[in-house]
Amino acid sequence: MDQPGPLDGLVVLDLATLFAGPLAATILGDFGADVIKVEHPAKGDPSRTHGPAKDGHGLWWKMLGRNKRAVTCDLSGEEGAALLRGLVAGADVLIENFRPGTLERWGLGPEVLHTLNPRLVIARVTGFGQFGPYSRRPGFGTLAESMSGFAASTGEPDGPPTLPPFGLADGISALVCVNAVLMALRHRDLSGTGQVCDLAIIEPLVTLLGPQPMIWDQLGTVQERTGNRSVNNAPRNTYRTRDGRWVAVSTSAQNIAERVLTLVGHPEVIGEPWFAGGAGRARHSDLLDGYVGDWIAARDADEVVRAFEEAQAAVAPVYDIRDVFTDPQYTALDTITTVDDPDLGPLRMQNVLFRLSATPGSIRSTGPALGAHNTEVWGGLLGLSDEELDRLHAKGVI
């Protein structure tokens, strides 16, 4: 029997879609929360059909819907809204990402929900937040990656701004949402009252830009695209080995930079005044990249990694997902774990985010079929009869 997680007993209503809100709910579910996924009866969460599928089963949904109970409900009608209000009375957290004003139009705004349950924590995850001139625009992670400054500073100097090939802004926003929910729950435990968490997906990436806002404010400088180089230190880049593989080198710490240049046969630069700090080394990236790149290009990847490890310098091979599956460190951590899926059998996916010694998280189920838990939730929690469930289903309410 699974050991209870740290969030065991917490009831989370996941009303969100694509992708930040649902992923936040997934993480809460991984650590024991009872997550009830509420989807439109005809449409469902678009992630069910987003990306590749096997035998008609969306693979993204299998991960994003894990550890959730799936129910259907058309929230735009009064009968559907009444069902949700019934769930809210016994819930701890509600996560939604409708455009601002939508829940209010359906009679499900925070004022109504907090009247039903003053302890409810409501997380509202939208592209641009609940107010401001863009608040009612449709918002997606791609727009956040574009508007935050991330894309403008990513890519080769003579190339276009570069977007990530996966949901970076959504993923980071999901992690931020989890933090916001846990902070609000802590406040609730102290005060007895819930609150609204307003998360705009365009904001977390701005925080991760580091000093860029202050550099512009104080120095009037905009960070340009530098490829895989860093404006803060050098050598820092990806380098191709003799056998055609790639490795990444980082020298954020001064002692690591000294070890790397000693290893590649150029200890003479360590005594240069400009070498004493990361900014000075970054101004000499061409020289340092040449030294490191030439040394690496003359050796196979395994030899390069072994030599760097012996020198206690920082290097890593550039992996694709096949390498993640076979790397011994990832294997030891069980980062990619195997879960039994009723449709696909043994299914390998990302494990829970971190390990807690006393109350570890777990994957108890993969993403369920649309409405798989309607009887269990609407009947078991709200006491609806089979006849009433049949009636609601026939009307398209569930």
CA distance 113 to 136: 22
CB atoms within 10 A of CB 258: 17
CA distance 371 to 381: 15
Q: Would you say residue 347 lies in a domain?
A: yes
The CATH code of the domain that includes 354 is 3.40.50.10540
What are the helix and strand counts (H, E) for the chain? 17, 13
- pLDDT one-digit tens code per residue, 99-118: 999 999 999 999 999 999 99
Q: Would you say residue 218 lies in a domain?
A: no
Confidence of residue 138 (pLDDT cuts 50, 70, 90): confident
Judgement on whether residues 319 and 338 belong to the same structural domain of the protein: no
CA distance 75 to 77: 6
Among residues 88, 72, 105, 98, which one has the least CA distance to residue 11? 88
Say what the pLDDT of residue 278 is. 93
- pLDDT one-digit tens code per residue, 14-53: 999 989 999 999 999 999 999 999 999 999 999 999 999 9
- pLDDT one-digit tens code per residue, 225-247: 999 999 999 999 999 999 999 99
The mean predicted confidence, pLDDT, of the chain is 96
Q: Would you say residue 224 lies in a domain?
A: no
Say what the pLDDT of residue 18 is. 87
Supply the range of the domain harboring residue 164. 11-207+334-395
Q: Would you say residue 88 lies in a domain?
A: yes
CA distance 121 to 183: 10
Judgement on whether residues 17 and 147 belong to the same structural domain of the protein: yes
Q: Would you say residue 221 lies in a domain?
A: no
| CA distances for 87 relative to 117, 218, 369, 390, angstroms | 10, 51, 20, 19
- pLDDT one-digit tens code per residue, 168-221: 999 999 999 999 999 999 999 999 999 999 999 999 999 999 999 999 999 999
Judgement on whether residues 389 and 259 belong to the same structural domain of the protein: no
Judgement on whether residues 137 and 75 belong to the same structural domain of the protein: yes
- pLDDT one-digit tens code per residue, 322-370: 999 999 999 999 999 999 999 999 999 999 999 999 999 999 999 999 9
Catalytic residue list contains 300: no
Judgement on whether residues 149 and 25 belong to the same structural domain of the protein: yes
Long-range contacts: 126-130, Cβ < 8 Å, 24+? 126/97, 126/98, 126/99, 126/100, 126/199, 126/200, 126/201, 127/200, 127/201, 127/202, 128/200, 128/201, 128/202, 129/100, 129/198, 129/199, 129/200, 129/202, 129/203, 130/100, 130/198
- Name the percent of the chain lying above pLDDT 90: 97
Q: Count of alpha carbons within 13 Å of 391, Cβ hemisphere only?
A: 8
Judgement on whether residues 109 and 129 belong to the same structural domain of the protein: yes
Q: Would you say residue 219 lies in a domain?
A: no
Last residue of a domain, one of 323, 350, 371: 323
Structure tokens at 186: 């802590």
Last residue of a domain, one of 298, 323, 348: 323
Judgement on whether residues 389 and 361 belong to the same structural domain of the protein: yes
CA distance 153 to 383: 55
Q: Would you say residue 220 lies in a domain?
A: no
Judgement on whether residues 51 and 90 belong to the same structural domain of the protein: yes
Judgement on whether residues 339 and 308 belong to the same structural domain of the protein: no
Confidence of residue 3 (pLDDT cuts 50, 70, 90): confident
User: Model's pTM, two decimal places?
Assistant: 0.94
Judgement on whether residues 152 and 39 belong to the same structural domain of the protein: yes
Judgement on whether residues 146 and 275 belong to the same structural domain of the protein: no
Q: How many domains does the chain have?
A: 2
pLDDT at 1 over 50: no
- Which one of 14, 34, 74, 170 is the catalytic residue? 170
Average pLDDT over residues 73-94: 97
Say what the pLDDT of residue 139 is. 87
Judgement on whether residues 263 and 340 belong to the same structural domain of the protein: no
Q: Would you say residue 374 lies in a domain?
A: yes
Average pLDDT over residues 154-166: 94
Say what the pLDDT of residue 2 is. 64
CA distance 140 to 17: 11
Last residue of a domain, one of 267, 296, 323: 323
Confidence of residue 150 (pLDDT cuts 50, 70, 90): very high
The CATH code of the domain that includes 280 is 3.30.1540.10
Q: What is the DSSP letter of 137?
A: S
- pLDDT one-digit tens code per residue, 261-271: 999 999 999 99
